[in-house]
Amino acid sequence: MTAIQQLGHYVAQSGAPSGELRENLDLHIIDTLAALLASTATPEGERLLRFRVEMQKLAPAGKQSGTDLSIRCALARLSEIDDIHLASMITPGGIVIPAALTL
Domain boundaries, the chain: 18-102
32 phi and psi, to 5 degrees? -65, -40
Determine the pLDDT at residue 58.
84
Residue 63's pLDDT is 67
Q: Report residues of the chain scoring pLDDT below 70.
A: 61-65
- How many other C-beta atoms lie within 10 A of the C-beta of residue 54? 9
**Cβ atoms of 55 and 67 closer than 8 Å:** yes
Q: Are the C-beta atoms of 68 and 51 separated by less than 8 Å?
A: no
pLDDT recorded at residue 64: 63
Amino acid found at 101:
L
pLDDT of res. 94: 86
pLDDT at 5: 92
pTM over cut 0.95: no
**pLDDT at 46 (0 to 100):** 97
